[in-house]
Amino acid sequence: MQYNEFGKTGIKMSALGFGAMHLPMHKVDGHEVINDDLAIPMLQKAIELGVNYIDTAPSYCHRLSEVAVGKAIKGFRDKVYISTKNPIENDSADDWMKRLEGSLTKLDVDYIDFYHFWGIGLNGFKHWETLSDGPLQAAQRALDQGLVKHLSFSYHDAAQNMKYIIDSGRFESVLCQYNLLDRQNEENLAYAKSKGLGTVVMGPIAGGRLGAPSEVIQGLLKNKHVSTSEMALRFVTANPAVDIALSGMRTMEQLLSNAAVAAIETGLTTEEYEHVLKMMDENKKLAELYCTGCNYCKPCPQEIDIPFVFDLMNQHKVFGLKDHARGQYGHLIRGDGGRKSKLAPDCTECGECEKKCPQKLPIIQQIKETHKELS
């Protein structure tokens, strides 16, 4: 396992972190619960392989993830750093502390190593700064009492808003999205690193999208052929601004595969890394010929989620993620996925979308092409 200096904490963290969001589940008395016989050995195997950062949250796995992590680290507490999160449901400092105490109880630990302000944005953070006794003050008390060792934040807000939170000086690490297909936080990661924060990346496999075969991505390395998921993980760990690639592993096979990648001393050479960046930039330009995802075309009167449909087309046509794109489009057709959208047959060709598109794309025609390709 490779290790990186984690900001100014003085801790060396494993290049691979274990995200306990998708632990194996099964049904007991009609209820979905974590399968301890699979989950706990997998978490402990990760520690054995050198993974020393485990990330969980109160709501993961039907609110059972923290309990499973707590069971798994029994006897290993001195070998692992635990990260969990506070959803900050209101401005009350007392409620913030109650949620922290709930996590301590579920994890069955005396302290949490890295405690996150969960999914915060710029406006919410600025509001908390105006309070005299809110979440920020509660967090300081938790630090003073030793209940929390390091404060962190996870981030899903617009990329351009992150630097303000970094510059606040309140946090020692940041957790954000970054992968081959979504590089909007690339500059933020480098900035956080330069300011002494530890950096953790969620979604290195792009939420499973980069787990599907892609000849385009598998062929990014000259004279080498690696799986799509390996290429994705090697790309993230090769970024000098990334300390930990956090992977939500579901099976022992995924763990062993990812740990093997994280053990490679040089995931990508400087030349290989720059070549991959160049190729992905070129692919992104091709994708933008189809749609930049600006969302100006929304809302569609017929409820077609045009940017999402075109994103699937880009995954299929530009990045070669054909199986994944078709699978996701199949969910739209059947209406059995989390995302809802009408499709090309529902288009009335009213032209509202094309009037609003800054690129003047032939959206009506492209919707039809997408349906023909992916259905």
CATH architecture designation of domain 3-270: Alpha-Beta Barrel (3.20)
Both tokens assigned to 32: 């979905």
C-alpha–C-alpha distance, residues 334 and 283, integer Å = 30
Element housing 13 (H / E):
strand 12-14
Both tokens assigned to 250: 């579901």
Query: Which residues sit opposite 84 in a β-bridge?
Result: 115
Helices (H) and strands (E) in the chain, counts: 16, 12
- Contact (Cβ atoms closer than 8 angstroms) between residue 43 and residue 20: yes
**How confident is residue 318, by pLDDT bands cut at 50, 70 and 90?**
confident
One-letter amino acid of 292: T
324-371: pLDDT as tens digits:
889 999 999 998 877 889 999 999 999 999 999 988 889 999 999 999
One-letter amino acid of 102: G
Peptide bond preceding 299 in cis form (omega within 30 of 0): yes
Domain boundaries of the chain, sorted by first residue: 3-270, 291-374
- Contact (Cβ atoms closer than 8 angstroms) between residue 322 and residue 316: yes
This prediction has a pTM of 0.82
Peptide bond preceding 41 in cis form (omega within 30 of 0): no
220-238: pLDDT as tens digits:
877 677 788 888 899 999 9
The predicted pLDDT at position 216 comes to 76
Query: Which residues sit opposite 284 in a β-bridge?
Result: none
